[in-house]
Amino acid sequence: MMKTVLVTGASSGFGKAICQKLIADGYKVIGSARRIEKLNEMAVQLGDNFLPLLLDVTKKDAVENLLIGIPTDFKPIDILINNAGLALGMEPAYEAHYDDWEMMVQTNIIGLMHITRTILPTMVERNCGYIINLGSTAGSYAYKGGNVYGATKAFVKQFSANLRTDLLGKKIRVTNIEPGLCGDTEFSNIRFHGDNKKAANVYQGVEYIKPEDIANTVSWLVNTPEHFNVNSIEIMPTAQASGGLAVVKD
Ligand code: NDP
Ligand code: 8X3
């Protein structure tokens, strides 16, 4: 029987590429996001095995009721890909906009919690399932202006590890994918509040990771055997590495 995957944040970037790849691999895919028109455009190309779903992950009631709106042929959900997320701003903490901080926490932490708490019990009931979270290298490595964004991804990292512990003895797998610099998504356009020039500058002269690279990684993960759990997978462009610790001298 075909497995069903729920991908949050499916309207662009990684989420869109993951939907395209998993449909090509033979899965049924529910793609969710706030911009339903983008998902509907994808549906025209991806066909009947793709279900567009309007869902704002920050809306607790909507997430709790999401299974009610899903047709039976897209149930149960076998694989959950918690991809919806965003960075807002890159100012130092003492100049950052508090609304940006709140929105990152609401989306990257609370939204991910809402979805996981809704879907996970259905996996436990069936004693099978796979949750893949989109963390980030920003959850492990500090960088200037990464303040709350990096902290939300540190949550995703530890939450993923703690889920593994809670699920020990059950046939449910959890992986945290931790990408570094990835281009051809809307990530930086959103981060810089629509300043597309500033966004483009992030990727200038760098051979960055592409959404297809992340989609291929997801495709590999979901096709690994069920006794095999990749706890985390950190991916950077070859052109990126940690800058090391810094010291300021008088
Ligand atoms: P994009 O901005 O291209 O995609 C983000 C997706 O999240 C969009 O589909 C957007 O859809 C969705 N989204 C945002 N807020 C909400 C919300 N409240 N409810 C539902 N969906 C929402 O970025 P990427 O593809 O680059 O990023 C995907 C994930 O990967 C994020 O979690 C990001 O933090 C992470 N990541 C990105 C990296 C990068 O360098 N690009 C590197 C490491 C991790 P819509 O606006 O239609 O709701
Ligand atoms: C996205 C990667 O380095 O911009 O999570 O934080 S980075």
The residues near 165 (Cβ < 8 Å, ≥ 6 apart) are none
Number of H helices, E strands in the chain: 9, 7
Q: Is residue 179 part of a domain?
A: yes
Q: Is residue 247 part of a domain?
A: no
Q: Of 202, 205, 206, 204, whose CA–CA distance to 187 is shortest?
A: 202
Q: Is residue 243 part of a domain?
A: no
Residue 223 domain boundaries: 4-235
Q: Is residue 144 part of a domain?
A: yes
**Which H/E stretch holds residue 158?**
helix 147-166
Q: Is residue 205 part of a domain?
A: yes
Number of domains the chain is built from: 1
**Which H/E stretch holds residue 45?**
helix 36-46
> Rounded CA gap, 93 and 111, in Å?
23
Q: What is the pLDDT of residue 1?
A: 83
The residues near 170 (Cβ < 8 Å, ≥ 6 apart) are 124, 127
The residue type found at 82 is N
Tell which atom from ligand 1 comes closest to the C-alpha of 57: 19
Minimum CA distance residue for ligand 1 atom 38:
182
Catalytic residue IDs? 149
Question: Cα(201) to centroid of ligand 1, in Å?
Answer: 19
Question: Cα(85) to centroid of ligand 1, in Å?
Answer: 4
* CATH value at residue 111: 3.40.50.720
Q: Is residue 244 part of a domain?
A: no
Tens of pLDDT, residue by residue over 201-220, are 999 999 999 999 999 999 99
- Residues near ligand 1 with C-beta < 6 Å? 8-15, 33-35, 55-58, 83-86, 107, 111, 134, 136, 179, 181-182, 185-187, 190
SS3 173: strand
Instruction: Please state, in angstroms and as integers, the Cα–Cα distance from residue 180 to each residue in 101, 114, 145, 175, 230, following that order.
Output: 21, 25, 15, 16, 18
Q: What is the pLDDT of residue 68?
A: 94
Please, is 194 exposed, middle or buried when counting C-beta atoms within 10 Å of its C-beta (0-12, 13-18, 19+)?
A: exposed
Paired sense of beta strands 79-82 and 50-54, if any = unpaired
Question: Cα(187) to centroid of ligand 2, in Å?
Answer: 9
Q: Is residue 24 part of a domain?
A: yes
Q: Is residue 241 part of a domain?
A: no
- Supply 8's token pair: 């949050």
pLDDT in tens, the chain (250 residues): 899 999 999 999 999 999 999 999 999 999 999 999 999 999 999 999 999 999 999 999 999 999 999 999 999 999 999 999 999 999 999 999 999 999 999 999 999 999 999 999 999 999 999 999 999 999 999 999 999 999 999 999 999 999 999 999 999 999 999 999 999 999 999 999 999 999 999 999 999 999 999 999 999 999 999 999 999 999 999 999 999 999 999 9
> Rounded CA gap, 3 and 123, in Å?
13
> What's 209's DSSP letter?
B
